[in-house]
């Protein structure tokens, strides 16, 4: 048996003014393997994350679903929250009920609520099948190649070199300097370019 927790975010009024978040949480309680569901003003805030951590401990959750914004925004946030409470970050799943629901269905509150429930059900179904994943590691060669020896390449090479790393500064011309070195004085200070 999996133990899934569902956390529905209001995003202030971004979601809650369109989607009936209480109803979504209530519906989530009846989904398979869901042992806990609640809603909160801002899930990404410190108290919101603390709420998730506490629920993981108290309800012995092993899967977490947050229904909120796009995963592009806060998936990394909630993965870290799970990890800090001892749940593998890849057991976390996100349902986007803001960009893909509340914002696009602002005129149809009932429909939006039904869709939000569907999105959560879908995320729960996936979460139940999620498995722990561990990142691999790859070694890093601490040597940089800068292609192009104009002002951009020279500046980048100097900064990397000053940090203590080896740099190869490559240019197809016989000299570095690029377009910049053809210039006379440069605006707005009129200092020399070479």
Partner 1 sequence: MVAAAQHPNIELVTYAEVENVAGYVGNFEVTIRKKARSVDPVKCTGCGTCWEKCPTKVESEFDLGLGKRKAIYLPFPQAVPAVPVIDREHCRQFTRGKCGVCQKVCPAKAIDYEQQDEVVTEKFGAIVVATGYDLFKWEEVYGEYGYGKYPDVITGMHFERLNNASGPTGGRIVRPSDGKEPKTVVFIKCVGSRDEAKGKSYCSRACCMYTAKHAHQVLEKIPDARAIVFYMDIRTPGKAYEEFLQRTVHEGAVYVRGRVSRVFQEGDKLIVRGEDTLLGRQVEVAADMVVLATAMVPSAGWDDVAKMLGLQTDKDGFFQEAHPKLRPVETFTAGVFLAGACQGPKDIPDTVSQASAAAVKVCQLFTKDEMATDPMIAAVDESICAGCAMCEKICPYKAISMKTITERVAGRQVNRQVATVNGGLCQGCGACSVACPSSAMNLRGFTNEQILAEVDAVCL
> Interface residues for partner 1 in 151-180 (CB under 8 A)?
151-180
d(CA 154, CA 146): 8
- Give the bridge partners for 42, in sequence order: none
Closer to partner 1 by CB, 46 or 164: give it.
164
For position 194 contacting partner 1 by CB under 8 A, the verdict is yes
Q: What's the full length of the chain, in residues? A: 194
d(CA 100, CA 80): 23
Closer to partner 1 by CB, 10 or 93: give it.
93
Q: How far is the CB of 61 from partner 1 (least distance, A)?
A: 19
Considering only residues 52, 69, 114, 146, which one is a binding residue for partner 1 as defined by CB under 8 A?
146
Say if residues 47 and 78 touch (Cβ distance below 8 Å).
no
For position 73 contacting partner 1 by CB under 8 A, the verdict is no
Q: How far is the CB of 69 from partner 1 (least distance, A)?
A: 15
Nearest to 34 by CA among 55, 76, 63, 69: 63
Considering only residues 54, 57, 80, 143, which one is a binding residue for partner 1 as defined by CB under 8 A?
143
For position 1 contacting partner 1 by CB under 8 A, the verdict is no
For position 136 contacting partner 1 by CB under 8 A, the verdict is yes
Binding residues for partner 1 restricted to 98-127, rule: CB under 8 A: 118-119, 121-126
d(CA 110, CA 112): 5
Cα angle 68-71-72, degrees, rounded to a multiple of 5: 130
């Amino acid at each position: 048996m999996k133990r899934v927790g569902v956390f529905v975010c209001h995003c202030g009024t971004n979601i809650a003014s369109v989607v009936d978040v209480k109803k979504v949480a209530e519906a989530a309680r009846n989904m398979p393997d869901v042992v806990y569901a609640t809603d909160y003003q801002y899930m990404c805030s410190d108290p919101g994350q603390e709420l998730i951590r506490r629920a993981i401990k108290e309800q012995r959750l092993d899967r977490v679903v947050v229904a909120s914004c796009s995963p592009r925004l806060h998936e990394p946030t909630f993965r870290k929250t799970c990890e800090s409470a001892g749940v593998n970050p890849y057991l976390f799943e996100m349902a986007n009920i803001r960009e893909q629901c509340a914002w696009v269905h602002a005129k149809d509150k009932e429909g939006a609520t039904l869709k939000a429930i569907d999105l959560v059900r879908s995320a729960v179904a996936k979460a139940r099948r999620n498995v722990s994943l561990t990142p691999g590691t790859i070694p890093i060669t601490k040597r940089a190649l800068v292609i192009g020896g104009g002002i951009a390449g020279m500046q980048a090479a100097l900064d990397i070199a000053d940090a203590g790393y080896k740099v190869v500064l490559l240019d197809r011309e016989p000299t570095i300097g690029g377009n910049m070195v053809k210039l006379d004085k440069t605006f707005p200070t009129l200092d020399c370019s070479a």
